Amino acid sequence: MIEARRLHILRAVADHRTVTAAAAALYLTPSAVSQQLTALEQETGHRLVERGAKGVRLTPAGEILLGHTNVVLAQLERAEAELAAYGSGEAGTVTVAAFATGIAQVVAPALARLATTAPGIRIRVRDAEGDASLPMVLDRQVDVAVAVEYRGAPSADDPRLTHVPLYAEPFDAVVPVGHRLADSAEVPLAELAKDSWIGPYPGNPCHDVVVLACESAGFQPRLEHSSDDFRAVVALASADAGVALVPRSALRGMDLSDVVVRPVDGVAPTRRVFAAVRRGAEGHPLIRPVLAALGGAARG
């Protein structure tokens, strides 16, 4: 008989590629993870993982079991949801991980809605970028992630997750007030090819949006300054340190007196924001109202 908790460990190892990283995500010791993997191999009668200098990878038998693992764990999430519904499920705590602008844009308004529509649900919020929040959902550290599409992100048909689209927003060009394009109605990205750039660090989903937009315009941005805080990005642009692309919602409430904000000429780079939960958990009586509140906040 295969134990479900060992399937959680197998998926964590597959996701994180090392025993040490999987152990950290699951709040276990590496030795405990290794012991559980060995026990799982004994239960199945197959070698499931291979260890190498660069980490751990699944064997063909491990890949077969991982496919079934995603189905089994999704069904267990559905079972928990139905049992919670049976027991009313009107009160409890839901943990939501979201990036800073997403918290302001949809999470905080959703909390206000839930205070009226589902007062028994308590929300705990954790600030995390999209590339961090999705693994947190898969590792059961949080229940819901508000994340951004990025290169390498789990796709909408990933068997481990259920995606709920929330909103999409354009990036605007931010240039110093004395910039040669400051008087333009729209900014062609190709004309910024020789400028110094300010942007998020690699790994931040917005970094991918900026780089892909510039690549589509025919150049690689020369990123001289890096910050994941868009207030810092705008402050640097104000100091004539370079140009930037910033999500429109991130500019709200900022001091923009020393910069010029213009839409991008042509097809604007866009970030697409979605909520994600473990597949099968979307029907949970605590999570379902949270997803509905996030969707309502996104629609305004």
CATH code, 286: 3.40.190.10
Query: Do both 60 and 202 map to the same domain?
Result: no
Query: Do both 79 and 95 map to the same domain?
Result: no
Residue 53, pLDDT above cutoff 80: no
pLDDT at 89: 61
Query: Do both 215 and 183 map to the same domain?
Result: yes
Query: Do both 69 and 8 map to the same domain?
Result: yes
Residue 200 has a CB neighbour count (10 Å cut-off) of 24
Query: Do both 154 and 278 map to the same domain?
Result: yes
Residue 253 gets which letter from DSSP? Answer: T
Query: Do both 74 and 118 map to the same domain?
Result: no
Query: Do both 283 and 259 map to the same domain?
Result: no
Handedness of CA 176, 177, 178, 182 (dihedral sign): positive
pLDDT of 86-95, one tens digit each?
Answer: 666 667 899 9
Query: Do both 107 and 188 map to the same domain?
Result: no
Count: domains in the chain: 3
Closest Cα partner for 273 from 110, 126, 152, 146? 146
Distance CA 62, CA 273 (A): 32
Candidate ranges 6-20, 60-74, 235-249; pick with highest mean pLDDT: 235-249
Per the CB < 8 A criterion, the answer to whether 171 and 57 are in contact is no
Which residue, 41, 58, 83, sits at the end of a domain? 83
Query: Do both 156 and 183 map to the same domain?
Result: no
- Give the mean pLDDT of 21-33: 90
Confidence of residue 115 (pLDDT cuts 50, 70, 90): very high
Query: Do both 153 and 188 map to the same domain?
Result: no
Is pTM, for the whole model, over 0.95? no
Query: Do both 78 and 8 map to the same domain?
Result: yes
Query: What average pLDDT does the chain have?
Result: 91
pLDDT at 132: 87
Range of the domain at 49: 4-83
Per the CB < 8 A criterion, the answer to whether 92 and 292 are in contact is no
CATH number, residue 65:
1.10.10.10
Q: Which amino acid is at 243?
A: V
Distance CA 2, CA 39 (A): 9
Which residue, 48, 83, 118, sits at the end of a domain? 83
pLDDT at 86: 61
Mapped to the 3 state alphabet, what secondary structure does 26-38 carry?
A: HCCCHHHHHHHHH
Query: Do both 267 and 188 map to the same domain?
Result: yes
pLDDT at 9: 92
pLDDT of 133-163, one tens digit each?
Answer: 999 999 999 999 999 987 777 888 899 999 9
Residue 293, pLDDT above cutoff 90: yes
Weakest-pLDDT range from 80-89, 108-117, 234-243: 80-89
Give the SS3 label for residue 151.
coil
